[in-house]
Structure 1
């Protein structure tokens, strides 16, 4: 079969899920229980649900293509989890002559989404996928060989994005682990002989000598670290009871309000019915739903100067820490890497001293569960700028803060750079996707106009 013109119904079957009674749900994994995956679980692992394996017949594995049936937004395409699935999800099962990976990327096309979204039906107040219409959608099916090539190209991009995401998780965990050691367990490196935080620069002077002299300096530095750098609390460092926190903290450290170490602010939403506030807008406008990554490197939302002038929206500088005050991301933080405005659901936190920047980010992250409890109580407005400003935080020794910042600043920059690269890779993938599917771009040999991908030699592309 060479570029056969078919419909989705001829190459794919959509299988709905089951909805076991809520009374059978467990929030912990018990013996013979499996994960009941819902649409939200592909975005957050915060609310896992488990059911007995005999209470359903609908299961899926990591490579299966899963589709969000209801919205908004409808027709979200997912992969990567496994377990049972509920009625809000569909499993796309490939039939003859179509590869699973090719079907996955075909369904992710923007044109397919627009088609489904336009024809979606409302059921019980929810917008749902119209399966009859979806089955009628046309598909031009390449040979299996070409499907493999196309899927390999797009998978190479997704693999690189996934690798960057894994690296970012590890980098953030390393910075957070160091934060926990130093500022939660209070085992920061301390030189008891000198009575001060350990100076890692000791033994690094005069590095221009002979190989033997430099080796001797390295050995001396290692000896100093081994002999004099010890964890403060675990080595008997003096702790002092703090009445505000009702626990002990290292001697010389203080407790202050967030407002004493950082400026805070919030934004606003220009009137949505006023077109001049949004049309051709060039001012970045960040909302709370975008706070789902360590850094925000771009936004799809923009407002105009008129909107800025006639609303509560205001500019915040690059490297401002943003915290979502309500909504699905309540309590989450992100750092904006560019000057931007925000809506009223976001609290901007701007440390007054640069040494507090990385520390404050993790202080706020550490309070996530406490803040979530505030935002999910009976009074939904409990999480506010005033609540955040009045949070009590430990103020460490300034030298310790400087050392911590120096230790993690490179990791933060790598995370930001990886996110920027991911944005570029995703943009390239989204540009290539429809062109590969409709034959405007083909995967071939090295002749023709070559389109660069990433460092991996996974394919060469040429326009036709």
Structure 2
């Protein structure tokens, strides 16, 4: 169906590493490679740096594509969208290739979605050269890859459809950040700064409903961790939770399914069998020690992780999640050349423990926030799958815009 579209070599369809002038010694927004998250369309500046001479140069809405292994294989490609007030030129890692729509030929947003086309990514990976572990894709190799070039109005329509799905995903991400910040702030308010107790001790209004405010004391007592609310106590992490070992599950033996598989730095795949019931908490053990991840569903933590099993002293997973984040467990390394977390050292850390009725009140406050986060996450997963299904069909012309719009409407997108 896209046979009437012309084709161009990618290097002719878009601008690659377009010229941008930056003044030496001046400060500009800078984007580091680690700031690019493959699951999000956009990336903003990481910081400001003085420009010397090196680094990729770009302007807002240019596409930044990693050219080095393993970043390219990990799909580190994003549009540069600056924060408000930073609309000028910027620079970043030397390992970025900068891609921009070519005037009169390609729309800039369409150019971004060309880089999301699996055929393009696979070609780029196949062109990598250099020593093992430091392979890079040369920009000139893109002269050997042809892309369909529909009319500019058609390009804009394609980019609009895909962009609308990405906009919804981005909105969900921002909403989740807000919800997570609300839950984290409540934990800090109640269990780190003890603000309800301080307010009552000074005869001030706590700002809480009476039934919740009545759960907090109006005085402090001394403890080995300093002043803590009267009636609360301290205990070791080892007495309130177990860091249970995950189980080996190599990628080659995983079966298609709906059970998320978690490694030390987050989800690494799917399987058809759970290791433990959710919700739960995964703690990085090797490779990324101390990374704390919340899991909403049944899950399979692999052998580079621990997962949390609460003990009777403290049954609130929500409380334990934020308590572990507040603990510096990442510094409790195992005696090994491989970065790892020694759980016996973690077990020795002390934690302030509130009474069960306070924990129950906390759970009631944050549970709806976590449920909404899960709903948003699931919606984004479905939207991403829809986008990834439509993208190659729209780019190749196998599916035209009106048909895609009907498909989205029928899918409830």
Q: Measured at CA, do residues 116 and 32 of structure 1 come closer, stay the same or move farther in structure 2, by a change above 3 Å?
A: closer
The whole-number CA distance in structure 2 between the counterparts of 1:32 and 1:396 is 52
Q: Please report how far the alpha carbon of residue 6 of structure 1 lies from its aligned counterpart in structure 2 after TM superposition.
A: 1.1
Q: Please report how far the alpha carbon of residue 48 of structure 1 lies from its aligned counterpart in structure 2 after TM superposition.
A: 5.2
Specify the SS of the correspondent of 1:90.
strand
Residue 321 (structure 1) aligned to one of 269, 281, 292: 281
Tell me the TM-score normalised to structure 1 length: 0.73
In the TM superposition, 1:59-208 aligns within 5 A as: 59-74=57-72, 76-82=76-82, 83-96=90-103, 97-123=105-131, 125-188=133-196, 200=209
In the TM superposition, 1:14-25 aligns within 5 A as: 14-15=16-17
Residue 269 (structure 2) aligned to one of 294, 300, 311: 300
In the TM superposition, 1:36-55 aligns within 5 A as: 36-43=30-37, 50-55=48-53
Q: Measured at CA, do residues 423 and 270 of structure 1 come closer, stay the same or move farther in structure 2, by a change above 3 Å?
A: closer
Q: Measured at CA, do residues 379 and 101 of structure 1 come closer, stay the same or move farther in structure 2, by a change above 3 Å?
A: same
Which residue of 2 is the match for residue 290 of structure 1?
266
The whole-number CA distance in structure 1 between the counterparts of 2:372 and 2:250 is 38
The whole-number CA distance in structure 1 between the counterparts of 2:91 and 2:166 is 25
Q: What are the ranges of 5 or more consecutive residues in structure 1 without an aligned counterpart?
A: 19-23, 25-30, 203-224, 292-298, 305-313, 457-464
Residue 331 (structure 1) aligned to one of 284, 290, 293: 290
Specify the SS of the correspondent of 1:256.
strand
Tell me the TM-score normalised to structure 2 length: 0.81
Indicate the larger mover: 80-89 or 426-435: 80-89
* Pairs aligned (count): 388
> 2:64, 2:98 within 8 Å by CA — same for their partners in 1?
yes
Specify the SS of the correspondent of 1:72.
coil
Q: What are the ranges of 5 or more consecutive residues in structure 2 without an aligned counterpart?
A: 83-89
> 1:14, 1:90 within 8 Å by CA — same for their partners in 2?
yes
The whole-number CA distance in structure 2 between the counterparts of 1:349 and 1:57 is 43
Q: Measured at CA, do residues 454 and 148 of structure 1 come closer, stay the same or move farther in structure 2, by a change above 3 Å?
A: farther
Which residue of 2 is the match for residue 259 of structure 1?
238
1:238-274 deviation digits (Å, cap 9, x = unpaired): 212212x2x11111111112232223201233577xx
Q: Measured at CA, do residues 357 and 438 of structure 1 come closer, stay the same or move farther in structure 2, by a change above 3 Å?
A: same
Provide the alpha-carbon RMSD of the alignment: 3.7
Q: Measured at CA, do residues 372 and 15 of structure 1 come closer, stay the same or move farther in structure 2, by a change above 3 Å?
A: farther
> 2:55, 2:93 within 8 Å by CA — same for their partners in 1?
no
Q: Measured at CA, do residues 172 and 69 of structure 1 come closer, stay the same or move farther in structure 2, by a change above 3 Å?
A: same
Specify the SS of the correspondent of 1:71.
coil
Indicate the larger mover: 397-406 or 407-416: 397-406
